[in-house]
Structure 1
Amino acid sequence: MLDTDWSDSWRGAFRIELRAEAIGLAWHGWPVLPGTFPATEAGTEAWSGPVPVHHDWADRLTVDPHEIAQWWSGNPYSLLVATGKVVDAVEVDVELGKRAARLLRATGHPAPIVATPDGRWLFLTTVADNLPEKLATSGEVRWHGEGSWVPLPPTPFQHGVVHWRVKPDVWGWRLPEADVVHSVLTRALDQNVGADRSQLVAAASAA
């Protein structure tokens, strides 16, 4: 259950907010689609996160605000964006995300960043052909490209709401180049490896 009042009146107000956000993203050319949301009925399966409502979602993609408005006319569907078309996303944990965000700020070119209630950060970029090998094989990074999707604010989870760490209007809705963000994430990953090695050396010295 979502840790808030999931009453009919709250559900209606939240649906309106989700609908407005979906329409706004569509005006900027982002292919959004409706996703599942936390169930409220007793005895239903535990909800593990949003997935597209329609099995043929890839064939329904559109940026038509009027059609998108219809999708959110009845239910407070989660707000998802299809990746691999206009936007890609690189998913990391909080600690790696914080290091990468600091490095991006230092360059003066912050990327749009989404945070989920389950401790994941999503760095949004232009579409890429692949992920650099070091990131792809690290075990700490997940790339969302063609055929995938990610949740956008204010999608509800069972224990919170997806929110922006850095909003896209900070960049004037111009997505940063994927290779730039990939490079910064690689540097942040190297910092983590260096920190882990330092801790191991310190632990060995104290033994």
Structure 2
Amino acid sequence: MLDTEWPDSWRGAFRIELRAEAIGLAWRGWPVLPGTYPGAGDDTESGSAWTRPVPVHEDWHQRIGAHPQQVAAWFTGRPHSLLVATGTMIDAIEVDDQLGRRAATLLRATGHPAPIVAMPNGRWLFLTTSTDRVPSVLATNENVRWHGEGSYVPLPPTPFEHGVVHWRVKPEIWGWRLPAAGAVHEVLVRALLGEAADHVTAQPVFVAGSSAA
């Protein structure tokens, strides 16, 4: 967690890293938003005390797609959490640790593992292209959450209760291409149903031209 007792030099370095990541993602077209952070108290436009990252601005829906220069200004001076809005060019499927590990193993078996984020609360985020639906078996499972239009997710190195959000599979490893939502959903369904990795046939997961660069 972003400990408020850290020396100023450590907090300063962490703030710089968050700002650099936010600007880099914004230049690649990712819909970056500033989020609340530990130690901020009620010092946000939303007036909410920090428990987990939420958008700083109440009108965050209108701020999606801000220019990188605006993103840089948001992250200047404060260690805002790094959030990305979903439902435009990126979606995320949030699952528990057990399902996340099974799905990651199956994705590796295809030869094209998707960008994956891990949160300190034991939840995993599988990033995909945007879509308007998910399979019913995922939509009705209480341990699965689809982040589409109107939602957002934290990205590394956002502070979180008991730790920091981190990458399990970085997007740059695959040239910043986002995997097709349907392909990842299919793998998650297989993992949910208990399919083993040795039963998976290698298949393309990425959509041609789906680079977020």
Residue 160 of structure 1: aligned partner: 163
CA distance in 2, matches of 1:2, 1:74: 15
> For residues 145 and 6 of structure 1, what CA distance do their matches in structure 2 show?
35
Per-residue CA deviations over 1:110-134 (Å, capped at 9, x if unaligned) read 1000000111000000001011101
Higher helix share: 1
Letter of the 1:21 counterpart: E
- 1:133-153 CA-to-partner distances (Å, cap 9, x unmatched) read 011112120000000000000
Query: How many angstroms apart in 1 are the aligned matches of 2:62 and 2:29?
Result: 17
Partner of 1:126: 129
Q: Which runs of 4+ in 1 moved over 6 A?
A: none
1-structure distance, mates of 2:190, 2:132? 20
Contact 1:2–1:159, Cα closer than 8 Å, also in 2: no
Q: Over alpha carbons, which structure has the higher Rg? A: 1
Letter in structure 2 aligned against 1:176:
P
Q: Decide whether the 8 Å contact of 1:3 with 1:158 is kept in 2.
A: no
Comparing 2-11 with 156-165, greater Cα deviation is found at 2-11
- Secondary structure at the aligned position of 1:186 is classed as helix
Change (3 A) 1:16 1:110: same
Show the counterpart of 1:29. Answer: 29
Q: Name the residue aligned to 2:172.
A: 169
1:179 to 154, 175, 182: 182
State the distance in 1 between where 2:49 and 2:162 align: 12
Are residue 77 (structure 1) and residue 52 (structure 2) matched? no
Taking the TM superposition and a 5 Å limit, the aligned residue runs for 1:91-110 are 91-110=94-113
- 1:16 paired to 2:16: yes
Q: Does 1:190 align with 2:193?
A: yes
Amino acid at match of 2:102: R
Deviation per CA, 1:8-37, whole angstroms, max 9, x where unpaired?
322221111000000110111101000001
TM-score by length of 1: 0.86
Do 2:96 and 2:122's aligned partners in 1 also have CA atoms closer than 8 Å?
yes
Distance 1:10 1:188 in 2: 40
Name the amino acid aligned to 2:128: T
The answer to whether the Cα contact below 8 Å between 2:96 and 2:124 also exists between their aligned partners in 1 is yes
Identity %: 70
Spell out, residue by residue over 1:36-71, the C-alpha distance to the aligned partner (whole angstroms, 9 max, x if none). 011277xxx974210000000110122421111000
- Number of residue pairs aligned between Structure 1 and Structure 2: 189
